[in-house]
């Protein structure tokens, strides 16, 4: 596609952004559909100045927002989609008619990954490891969109974990049990758990041998989703496969959050196969 005065642009705003896979994924998708769009990477320290600048540019269509700006960007936008408001963080901006709206497609991406994996959630015992931004996004998606009625949160930060549990209970009505993440707690919780979602960086490259749950506690009745996507097969997922669990790799959530972004910006169905192929080629 030739870049010209009509080219719409999107980009990733964060610091650092040098290793982002988003430009490769989105540009391949734009090209596949013959859309006059381009996706760039913007290393940004001053988020307020960056958003002011983007408002002034007529061809700006949207952005991915990544670390460290997911929370700081919220008050700078004109409106925030309800699930993203509950979460208190966004990862996507959509520009339309001079209005900037914030979304959280981490939440959408996690649910799509679970649905694609045919994972039953209603009436199931679901446990989340972690209480940071990703855990918040997934917990609220489960509470507002997936209709679960109870959730266990396991985390090492007492204050953060309690705040998330209280937020969830008051805003979604889900019954939340929050417990410290240690071997004793895992021994009590995991035998009755149907779906385990890991939302911390543990096991991420280069620390590939880290895992949040001992292999001996994983059982065949469990579905394990890890949001870490590099390496593709984390230690947790290797152990889960060996125990006979159904597994959902982090690549699936990453893919589906990007698919949701693409569809918000273009109002077209994303070429998921093309986006998946680009992503997989980076980890083959």
The catalytic residue positions are: 70
d(CA 192, CA 222): 9
d(CA 5, CA 186): 57
Closest CA to 3 of 30, 42, 32, 43: 30
Asked if 59 and 38 count as a contact pair (C-beta separation under 8 A), the reply is no
Q: How far is CA 179 from CA 85, 129, 137, 189, 213, in A?
A: 25, 10, 19, 9, 14
d(CA 254, CA 141): 15
Give the containing element (helix H, strand E) for 129: strand 126-129
Angle at which helices 272-281 and 250-266 cross, to 10°: 140
Phi, psi dihedrals of residue 30, rounded to the nearest 5°? -60, -45
Which residues lie across from 178 on neighbouring strands? Answer: 153
Q: Classify 96 as helix, strand or coil.
A: strand
DSSP state for residue 172 in the 8-state scheme = H
d(CA 195, CA 225): 8
């Amino acid at each position: 596609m030739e870049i010209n005065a009509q080219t719409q642009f999107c980009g990733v705003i964060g610091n650092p952004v040098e290793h982002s896979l988003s430009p490769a994924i989105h540009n391949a998708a734009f090209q596949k559909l013959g859309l006059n769009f381009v996706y760039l990477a913007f290393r940004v320290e001053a988020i307020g100045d960056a958003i002011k600048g983007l408002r002034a540019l007529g061809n700006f269509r949207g952005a991915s927002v990544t670390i460290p700006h997911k929370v700081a960007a919220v008050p700078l936008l004109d409106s925030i989609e309800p699930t993203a408001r509950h979460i208190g963080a966004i990862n996507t901006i959509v520009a339309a008619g001079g209005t900037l709206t914030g979304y959280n497609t981490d939440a959408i991406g996690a649910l799509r990954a679970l649905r694609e994996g045919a994972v039953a959630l209603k009436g199931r015992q679901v446990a989340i490891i972690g209480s940071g931004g990703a855990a918040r996004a997934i917990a609220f998606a489960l509470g507002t969109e997936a209709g679960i009625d109870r959730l266990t949160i396991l985390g090492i930060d007492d204050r953060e974990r309690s705040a998330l549990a209280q937020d969830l209970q008051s805003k979604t009505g889900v019954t939340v049990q929050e417990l410290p993440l240690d071997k004793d707690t895992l021994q009590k919780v995991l035998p009755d758990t149907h779906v385990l979602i890991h939302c911390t960086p543990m096991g991420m490259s280069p620390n590939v041998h880290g895992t949040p749950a001992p292999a001996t506690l994983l059982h065949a009745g469990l579905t394990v989703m890890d949001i870490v996507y590099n390496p593709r097969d984390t230690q947790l997922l290797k152990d889960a496969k060996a125990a006979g669990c159904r597994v959902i790799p982090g690549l699936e959530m990453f893919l589906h959050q990007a698919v949701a972004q693409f569809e918000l910006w273009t109002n077209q169905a994303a070429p998921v196969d093309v986006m998946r192929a680009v992503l997989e080629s980076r980890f083959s």
